[in-house]
Amino acid sequence: MAESIRFGRTVFKEGIMPFVRVCIWEGRDANTKKQVIEKVTAAVSDAISCPREAVQVVIEEVKKANWGIGGTPASEKFPDR
């Protein structure tokens, strides 16, 4: 029998508390990040048939100088973005 997990006031069956980390370059505005959270939540909820309330999304903003693509810092590869 599956155990229940309490998250705040909501109780979920064991194993349905997906956690998604989204890494993006820093500089996006709050509205854009809100849209990312909403759309990722909807996609995960639909894909694995779990309640939207169970999905956790964290946006991690990374400086382009700390993000490498093909051995080159993104700050050099994409200086205008």
Catalytic residue among 18, 51, 73, 79: 18
Residue 29 sits in which domain range?
A: 15-77
> What's the CATH code of the domain at 66?
3.30.429.10
pLDDT in tens, 26-76: 999 999 999 999 999 999 999 988 889 999 999 999 999 999 999 999 999
Is 67 a member of any domain?
yes
**Displacement of CA 18 from its chain's centroid (Å):** 10
pTM: 0.77
Active site residue 79: no
Q: What is the pLDDT of residue 12?
A: 63
Is 6 a member of any domain?
no
Say if residue 19's pLDDT is above 80: yes
Least Cα distance to 23 among 79, 77, 68 occurs for 68
